């Protein structure tokens, strides 16, 4: 399926390819170019937030494998994620569209199941981005309440207060996306630069403070801590990898916003790979500094926000620890909330253009004043504000929703990558693009990415602790099934007909040149 290039949107034509662009609603308006390659790379870096993500999940990582899993599990995840990012970067260069993996799946799928696969990947992507956006807001909310507790030792944050802070962040994010979107590129660039700088400052601080009293290399590289109740160290290692998987997620954000940057076929792949290549060493430095200097693991693991306690011990100052925590975690999480909300809204908007969700015509409206999908932004915000109420009554259930983003998004990557490996490459009919992986390297990257994405998505459903109780239950598999049940109901009661009709209309109107959308 091919779509006409939109010169006004800044999309350039290249030899042998006309980039796929998301459908436009002529009555609803269009998106505007807002992002430079640098600002887009920093946006993706901020969304991924590797070091802040680790800072927010230290408790789980320490007890589920400890140092060994934190180091080697992270390296495995980093390598596999880089293969995944390279695979997606190739596809966004061929088909730069806000639909991302949704459109890529349809373009390479067999005709008899293209509509269904497209629909399934769309539900995975929409649900995954809502969950990922919620997790950024939640980390920010927990960090803010932990800072309040550090300033007032007698204050003990409650779950309903954390939920209220979450609401405030959600409202701020949606208002910024509607009325302050022009500032988001600069905000992401500033935040990314601050995050890198503060990560280096914290690494240096921890090493300087720990000089002469470092933990041994044996502890850092061979110590495996198992407080999960499982007898198998292999299972514990895998559970610990989930924290690493969460720390390198969301690099497809660039694809969903690529229609708002110049020459996306060239710049989107660069920004996607560049953001991952910056995130990986930043996260590794943070982990190494922490493991070589941490002393009381049990105390750290029981803190409301462990990184705040670690920095307080390193700086010997509550004020200093708060400043560093805000710069590393709270600021990054807040800006990531804004950027993730923009991404989630673009996914919903682009799929609504194809009639893939209930009330699709209502969601396709773009504000003629702000040139953003306001209705899609609002539905993301309202959905998150309602879901966070679960946290007040059942924290394990809510946490399961947050970590489910790992499974949903990884599976949404695995489908088009599998099609690229088994159909796109062997066909020899893929359009030419500015960024292409050599055949052998592409096959290796695709294969590694698929195995990892499917494996980590399944392992995510394992209970974190054993024996399983109501207080530590992993509800992810039940929620995963619920998402599919809702999507299946819509598919069989109207969604199949609406999506299929739109798909056929596009094919007829655009006259695709080949099965994989070769240029005319």
Buried b (16+ CB within 10 A) or exposed e, 297-330: beebbebbbbbbbbbbbbbeeeeebbebbbbbbb
pLDDT at 18: 36
Three-class HEC string of 326-349: HHHHHHHHHHHHHHHHHHHHHHHH
Rounded Cα–Cα distance for residues 104 and 121 (Å): 10
Q: Which of 380, 90, 71, 477 is nearest to 247 (CA)?
A: 71
Domains of the chain: 7-12+35-107+126-498 (1.20.1740.10)
pLDDT at 38: 80
Q: Is the pLDDT of residue 23 over 70?
A: no
Mean pLDDT, residues 301-329? 87
Mean pLDDT, residues 53-64? 78
Q: Is the pLDDT of residue 371 over 80?
A: no
Neighbours of 218 (CB within 10 A): 9
Q: Is the pLDDT of residue 171 over 90?
A: yes
- The 10s digit of each residue's pLDDT in 122-168 is 889 988 999 999 988 998 999 899 999 988 888 889 999 999 999 99
pLDDT at 22: 38
Mean pLDDT, residues 411-428? 92
Q: Does residue 459 contact residue 235 with C-beta atoms inside 8 Å? A: no
Q: Is the pLDDT of residue 501 over 50?
A: no
- The 10s digit of each residue's pLDDT in 213-234 is 898 989 999 888 888 888 888 8
pLDDT-wise least confident of 8-12, 111-115, 216-220, 438-442: 8-12
Rounded Cα–Cα distance for residues 54 and 69 (Å): 13
Q: Does residue 74 contact residue 246 with C-beta atoms inside 8 Å? A: no
User: Is pLDDT larger for residue 33 or for residue 139?
Assistant: 139
Question: What DSSP string describes 210-237?
Answer: TTT-PPPHHHHHH--EE-SS-S-HHHHH
Which residues are 261's β-sheet partners? 35
Q: Which of 284, 278, 318, 386 is nearest to 43 (CA)?
A: 278
Q: Which of 391, 456, 371, 433 is nearest to 179 (CA)?
A: 371
Rounded Cα–Cα distance for residues 142 and 500 (Å): 43
Mean pLDDT, residues 341-366? 79
pLDDT at 1: 37
Mean pLDDT, residues 354-378? 78
Q: Is the pLDDT of residue 9 over 60?
A: no
Rounded Cα–Cα distance for residues 2 and 208 (Å): 56
Reported pTM: 0.86
Q: Which of 510, 356, 433 is nearest to 95 (CA)?
A: 433
């Amino acid at each position: 399926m091919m779509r006409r290039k939109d010169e006004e949107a800044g999309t350039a034509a290249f030899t042998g390819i006309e980039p796929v662009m998301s459908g436009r609603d002529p009555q609803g308006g269009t998106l505007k170019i807002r992002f430079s390659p640098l600002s887009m790379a920093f946006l993706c870096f901020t969304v991924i937030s590797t070091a802040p993500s680790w800072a927010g999940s230290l408790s789980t990582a320490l007890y589920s494998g400890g140092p060994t899993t934190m180091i080697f599990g992270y390296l495995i995840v980093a390598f596999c994620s880089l293969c995944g990012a390279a695979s997606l970067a190739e596809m966004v260069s061929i088909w730069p569209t806000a639909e991302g993996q949704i459109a890529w799946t349809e373009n390479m799928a067999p005709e008899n199941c293209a509509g269904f696969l497209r629909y399934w990947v769309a539900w995975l992507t929409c649900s995954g981005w809502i969950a990922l956006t919620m997790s950024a807001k939640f980390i920010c909310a927990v960090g803010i309440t932990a800072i309040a507790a550090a300033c007032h030792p007698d204050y003990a944050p409650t779950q309903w207060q954390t939920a209220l802070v979450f609401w405030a962040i959600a409202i701020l994010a949606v208002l910024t996306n509607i009325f302050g979107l022009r500032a988001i590129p600069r905000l992401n660039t500033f935040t990314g630069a601050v995050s890198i700088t503060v990560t280096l400052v914290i690494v240096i601080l921890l090493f300087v403070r720990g000089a002469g009293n470092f933990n041994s290399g044996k502890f850092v590289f061979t110590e495996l801590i198992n407080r999960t109740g499982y007898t198998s160290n292999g299972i514990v290692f895998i559970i610990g990898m989930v924290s690493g998987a969460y720390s390198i997620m969301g690099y497809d954000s660039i694809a969903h916003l690529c229609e708002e940057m110049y020459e996306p076929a060239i710049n989107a792949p660069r920004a996607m790979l560049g953001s991952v290549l910056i995130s990986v060493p930043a996260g590794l430095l943070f982990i190494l500094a922490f493991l070589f200097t941490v002393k009381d693991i049990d105390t750290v693991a029981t803190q409301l926000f462990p990184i705040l306690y670690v920095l307080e011990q390193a700086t010997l100052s509550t004020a200093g620890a708060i400043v560093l925590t805000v710069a590393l975690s709270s600021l990054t999480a807040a800006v990531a909330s804004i950027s993730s909300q923009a991404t989630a809204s673009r996914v919903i908007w682009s799929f609504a253009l194809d009639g893939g969700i209930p009330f699709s015509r209502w969601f396709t409206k773009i504000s003629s004043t702000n040139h953003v999908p306001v209705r899609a932004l609002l539905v993301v915000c309202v959905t998150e504000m309602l879901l966070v109420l679960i946290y007040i009554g059942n924290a394990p259930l809510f946490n399961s929703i947050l970590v489910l983003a790992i499974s949903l998004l990884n599976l949404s990557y695995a489908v088009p990558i599998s099609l690229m490996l088994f159909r796109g490459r062997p066909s020899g009919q893929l359009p030419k693009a500015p960024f292409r992986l050599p055949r052998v390297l592409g096959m290796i990257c695709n294969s590694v990415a698929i195995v990892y994405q499917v494996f980590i998505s399944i392992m995510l459903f394992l209970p974190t602790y054993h024996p399983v109780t109501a207080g530590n239950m992993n509800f992810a598999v039940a929620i995963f099934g619920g998402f599919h049940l809702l999507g299946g109901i819509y598919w069989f009661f109207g969604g199949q007909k609406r999506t299929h009709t739109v798909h056929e209309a596009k094919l007829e109107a655009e006259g695709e040149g080949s099965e994989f959308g070769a240029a005319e």
